[in-house]
Amino acid sequence: MTKSRLNYDQIASQYNQRYPDSQNWERGQALLDLAKKLKARDVLEVGSGTGFWLNLLGQVTGRLYGLDYSMGMIRQAKGQPASLNLMRGTATHLPLQNQTFDLIYCVDAIHHFIDHRAFVSEAFRLLKPGGALAIIGHDPHEEGSSQWYIYDYFDTVYDTDLRRYPSGNSLLTMMQAEGFSKPSLQIVEHIKNIHVGEAVLKDPFLKHNATSQLALLDEDNYQSGLMRIKQALADAKERNERITFRSEILVKMFLGYKP
């Protein structure tokens, strides 16, 4: 059985493990560049999680707003050095006034929003003229843009992602239909992690709670996927070979401006 929704309260306290100090995040740079270009004063992240990206944007403005569904994630975000205005809510019904923000964005979150179009519509309402919506994440629909070994070894994960994520084309169409001018996409990060042989078992993203993809699996399905990896390693050893486990993912930014 696969769970239909992930309870972020349960993983909030470990979530920041994915942001080691040593890592330089290109998508963060893309957000910073955009905020600077817009001379953004009022910024809202929807699905703001532990506030990692909002804290980064503290370099550009002090008027930082975050909305998230999970109280546990909001509690973590309160620990960020930047002072953040945090609220609990849902992306499809934003409890904020029209024309308030210069920049609205979400990172790795749109696949959790039940109605993608409603979110895009709400973002359009809340943006000031000239403001921008940036939706950052990967697109499992596009052939070749995600080569992720997790999809190969864990049953249902890829199909679930195809259901949860809007395709890049449909996002651009939605943005256009809501009134955004010239919606566009750019690749803002190329994740490339390659684990050879047994080293894959130490991949932090292989932990059950590290990503929503695996956290949505119940224990039995998660263990079956792990067993498949271990079996493949054992078979390769017999053949005197080493398997390569790839995580190569293009992270995209879908961008639209409010005329």
Q: Is 139 exposed, middle or buried (0-12, 13-18, 19+ CB in 10 A)?
A: buried
Between 44 and 229, CB nearer to ligand SAM? 44
Nearest to ligand SAM by Cβ — which residue? 49
In the bound complex, what is the minimum distance in angstroms from residue 84's beta carbon to ligand SAM? Answer: 12
Whole-angstrom distance, CA of residue 88 vs CA of residue 47? 10
Between 229 and 252, CB nearer to ligand SAM? 252
In the bound complex, what is the minimum distance in angstroms from residue 13's beta carbon to ligand SAM? Answer: 13
Binding positions for ligand SAM, rule: CB under 6 A = 8, 46-50, 52-53, 67-70, 73, 90-91, 107-109, 112-113, 212
Q: Give the pair of three-digit tokens for residue 175.
A: 């943005």
In the bound complex, what is the minimum distance in angstroms from residue 201's beta carbon to ligand SAM? Answer: 23
In the bound complex, what is the minimum distance in angstroms from residue 161's beta carbon to ligand SAM? Answer: 13
Between 52 and 222, CB nearer to ligand SAM? 52
In the bound complex, what is the minimum distance in angstroms from residue 209's beta carbon to ligand SAM? Answer: 12
Between 31 and 38, CB nearer to ligand SAM? 31
Closest to 213 in 3D by CA, of 250, 165, 141: 165
Between 205 and 232, CB nearer to ligand SAM? 205
Collect all residues with Cβ–Cβ distance below 8 Å to 67 and sequence separation of at least 6.
44, 45, 46, 47, 48, 86, 87, 88, 89, 91, 94
Whole-angstrom distance, CA of residue 86 vs CA of residue 140? 30
Identify the DSSP state of 237. H
Say how many Å lie between the first and final Cα of the chain, rounded.
45
